Amino acid sequence: MVKTLTPFDYTTAQPGDAWPALAMPPVARLTLALYCGASGDHNPLHVDSDFARAAGLGDVIAHGMLSMGYMGRTLTQQVPLGALREFSTRFLAMTRIGDQITCTAQVIARFNDAQGMPCLRVAVSAAGHNGEVKAAGEAIIALPSG
């Protein structure tokens, strides 16, 4: 059973506990244009509809790293940035214009790392409004010692 802590306190989170979900507005062409500028990734698959159609995609697709960024935001809205030790992601499906991405995170384990620091292993994912998982990964969060 998934239990979302209210209010959320990552320092007391246990395996099975969930972060509050982060629901983003639907992906718009403006979102992609702004992300191109912010990331420096100006691949025409993300902003040029004619190019994307010629590539067989039907229309532009969002950057995979945009979904990862949303996942990271899900974590760092609850955890100090300096506590994030590792963050890995697998890109699983394309995000298209109009997809509304919701990110979730759930504690998998509490453990001590090789230096004895208490940590959380957290599963994190980004899914579209139809439930299709766009990206999934894991993060290691250092807990305050003492």
Question: What is the domain partition of the chain in residue ranges?
Answer: 18-142
How far, in Å, CA of 140 to CA of 84, rounded?
Answer: 6
Its CATH class, for the domain covering 18-142, is alpha beta
Q: What is the pTM of this model?
A: 0.90
Residue-wise pLDDT tens for the chain (146 aa)?
555 556 789 999 999 999 999 999 999 999 999 999 999 889 888 999 999 999 999 999 999 999 999 999 999 999 999 999 999 999 999 999 999 999 999 999 999 999 999 999 999 999 999 999 999 999 999 999 76
Backbone phi, then psi, for 46, in 5-degree steps?
-95, -15
Q: Which residues does residue 4 pair with via DSSP β-bridges, in sequence order?
A: 18
